[in-house]
Structure 1
Amino acid sequence: MKKFATLFGAALMAGSALCAAQAYAADDLTITSWGGAYQESQRKAFFEPFIAAGNKVTEAEYNGEIAKIRAMVEAKAVTWDVVDVDTQTALAGCAEGTFETIDWGKLGLDKSKFIGGDVTDCAVPNILYSTVAAYDTTKTKDPANLFEALFDTTKFPGKRALQKSPFVNLEWALMADGVAPEDVYKVLGTDEGVERAFKKLDTIKKDVVWWESGAQGPQLLADGQVVFATSWNGRFYNAIKTDKKPFKIIWDRQAPDWDWWAIPKGTPKLDGAYRFITFASQPQLMADQTKYISYGPANKDAAPLIDPAILPDLPSAPDNLKTVFYPDPQFWGDKGDELRERFNAWLAQ
């Protein structure tokens, strides 16, 4: 702008400043995520540096409900410019036209560098997280494996905290009942397989405390209300590292998934949304996020930049992947509504 003023005079400089201010205001992005320790990690790694680079960000939180995003898009009143979504939401939103199709050329990013980059056309992967179980080492001895922890109420009497969702719980139930991991979705895709999974869950139903937000699992464990709890690994990491809780994560049969940056279709700030995603996908910034929460960066180029001391706490650490179970996002995209309805009916029985 100084060069502009020198060439064309102070009067034009004032007009230019007004235009710049208007453009700046137009790029006041509203970025929506999941709150808690996870959004705090995004704030430190991405939002604050993005603001320092001359941008403006308004944060919002939600519980992952696609219905709210869909309603904005259908009403042509989009107020969220970038949203952090899970894989099921990314796939569903892409199929129904709720999210913009991502132009990787416009991002200036190499899709092949991103773990999961080819899963959907409508979102950019940012982290790999995992659903895991944990226990308080001062109160509970080491279980032999995940299924002993969750389903052996004789050896480990007491309550278990599980997410109030069929996702992962049905898969774990089938594996605990003897189904090989590679056959889980073949079995779960049948009526008999669904009944088998719920029959296994019946064996612990009276011993389950159901949680709905990621912070509840660690809190129930800290309060001594349960002997084992499931949640996302970053929630337990935060409890261990920040709150100094004597918890231990059970990595056996961890169930990894991605979170993604998606752009609601029709945002008036599309260019700004692209600019933010490009910024937040820089390898160094993605590596920086691991300082605040133990989720693995989706950009492969970030891996060499991660502090070696942090690596053992990431889902992607080799020792944590020995018995990994990868949920099938396409299966849940196709069958999710049906199984959630069945799950809710089972809970009400």
Structure 2
Amino acid sequence: MKKILVLSTALVGVAFAAQADITVLSWGGSYGAAQNEGHLQPWSAKTGNKVTMVDAPDPAPAVKAMVEAGNVTVDVASVTYADAARLCDEGLLEPIDAASLPAGADGTPAAEDFFPGAVTECGVSTDIWANIYAYDTTKFPEGPKTAADFFDLEKFPGKRGLIKAAKANLEFALIADGVAPADVYATLATPEGVDRAFAKLDTIKSEVVWWEAGAQPPQLLADGEVVMSTAYNGRIFAAAIEESKPFQIVWDGQTYENEMYVVPKGAPNLEQAMDYIRFATSTEGLRGQAALISYGPPRKSANADPIIYKDGKTEMGPHLPTAEANMANALQTSAEFWVDHDAELNERFQAWLTQ
């Protein structure tokens, strides 16, 4: 039996225990636990390989370092969409044959079953997470319902929480200002579009509390420091379902991103790595993870039937970015746009903060 290592974040500086048949280095926390239980354990049961998981903070630098050093010790890595694209462009990843991916449980070919952008030359999406906003239902029983409502201080008075960065804020501001998601990046690529986004942010700037870490928005809401805040959807789900916080997500204007499985160039167990990816990104594999954490399956077939959370009672559909109703006015984040414009827009954003 060959051994296989699965990397999910940075390997640099992380010491492994004795090598197991399969070792997973993951993001840790609830995500790592969901990946372990939803993908690794079932694959281990199917193949007979033993599995061990190790946690660390960021995968891309580790993959890059290993490949460039010619000392690749892992077979699969979980990376962001942007990192998957960059590493692939740099020739540091193995290509993945999209035709080899299994059809959906309903027989739909993989090419038609995955959402647009979920399969790339070197990566396959494992889940979709979203930037959303949430509010305290004790403050607004009837609630805000649209992206525009977030910017309406008259109808919904109170402090707002926003991430301290250009990305996600500029897209959200344009959608709230009436730009269709399909037109957001074309608009943001123009000086007039950038001015329009900042002008929209100006309307609430005096009421903004800035956050930088994912744990902050639910805490700001719980402490009453803000009445609504942008946030990562998984953080709000955990606070609402597991901690019974009175938080409600507004999906209108969500911006979503894919998390990807990739294979480092020169992976020692290429065949097993590809088998793992095919299993984990099948309809069943994706549903398995989605029952453990509120990140959406990137296949249509995996979203077709109800998924029940690990508590045995919560139906995940309304809590997933990929639910049909939640995708009605959604925007897929463009990694390519931010590669081209990140420096200039963040410079503009930092200058705007001081004005």
Please tell me whether residue 93 in structure 1 is matched to residue 87 in structure 2: yes
In the TM superposition, residue 244 of structure 1 has moved relative to its aligned partner by 1.2
Tell me if the contact between 2:24 and 2:51 (Cα under 8 Å) persists in the aligned partners: no
Q: Please tell me whether Structure 1 or Structure 2 has the larger radius of gyration of its CA atoms.
A: 1
Instruction: State the distance in 1 between where 2:318 and 2:336 align.
Output: 29
Please tell me whether residue 37 in structure 1 is matched to residue 30 in structure 2: yes
Tell me if the contact between 1:164 and 1:210 (Cα under 8 Å) persists in the aligned partners: yes
Q: Which residue of 2 aligns with 1:148?
A: 149
Q: Which residue of 1 aligns with 2:321?
A: 315
Tell me if the contact between 1:29 and 1:273 (Cα under 8 Å) persists in the aligned partners: no
Structure 2 SS opposite 1:74: helix
Q: Residues 330-341 of structure 1: matches in 2 within 5 Å?
A: 330-341=336-347
Q: Which residue of 2 aligns with 1:163?
A: 163
Structure 2 SS opposite 1:258: strand
Aligned residues: 328
Instruction: State the distance in 2 between where 1:347 and 1:84 align.
Output: 34
Identical aligned residues as a percent: 44
Q: Which residue of 2 aligns with 1:12?
A: none
Instruction: State the distance in 1 between where 2:70 and 2:76 align.
Output: 16
The alignment's TM-score, normalised by the length of structure 2, stands at 0.79
Structure 1 SS opposite 2:345: helix
Q: Residues 256-335 of structure 1: matches in 2 within 5 Å?
A: 256-307=256-307, 309-335=315-341
Tell me if the contact between 2:118 and 2:298 (Cα under 8 Å) persists in the aligned partners: no
In the TM superposition, residue 45 of structure 1 has moved relative to its aligned partner by 1.0
Q: Deviations over 1:186-227 (max 9, x none)?
A: 221123322332233233334333333333222222222221
Structure 2 SS opposite 1:296: coil
Instruction: State the distance in 1 between where 2:352 and 2:168 align.
Output: 16
If each structure's helix is expressed as a fraction of its own residues, which one has the higher value?
A: 1
The alignment's TM-score, normalised by the length of structure 1, stands at 0.80
Instruction: State the distance in 1 between where 2:336 and 2:50 align.
Output: 36
For structure 1, which runs of at least 5 residues remain unmatched after alignment? 1-19
Q: 1:140 to 1:115 in 2, by over 3 A?
A: same
Instruction: State the distance in 1 between where 2:121 and 2:198 align.
Output: 34
In the TM superposition, residue 119 of structure 1 has moved relative to its aligned partner by 5.0
Q: 1:104 to 1:205 in 2, by over 3 A?
A: same
Q: For structure 1, which segment, 25-34 or 155-164, has the greater mean C-alpha deviation from structure 2 after superposition?
A: 25-34
Q: RMSD in angstroms over aligned alpha carbons? A: 3.1
Q: Residues 51-66 of structure 1: matches in 2 within 5 Å?
A: 51-52=44-45, 53-62=48-57, 66=60
Q: For structure 1, which segment, 318-327 or 220-229, has the greater mean C-alpha deviation from structure 2 after superposition?
A: 318-327
Please tell me whether residue 197 in structure 1 is matched to residue 197 in structure 2: yes
Instruction: State the distance in 2 between where 1:211 and 1:77 align.
Output: 39
Q: Residues 101-180 of structure 1: matches in 2 within 5 Å?
A: 101-104=95-98, 111-112=110-111, 113-116=113-116, 120-141=120-141, 142-149=143-150, 151-180=151-180
Instruction: State the distance in 2 between where 1:274 and 1:348 align.
Output: 49
Q: 1:286 to 1:305 in 2, by over 3 A?
A: farther
Q: 1:124 to 1:21 in 2, by over 3 A?
A: closer
Q: 1:273 to 1:221 in 2, by over 3 A?
A: farther
In the TM superposition, residue 118 of structure 1 has moved relative to its aligned partner by 6.4
Q: 1:265 to 1:165 in 2, by over 3 A?
A: farther
For structure 2, which runs of at least 5 residues remain unmatched after alignment? 6-17, 104-108, 309-314
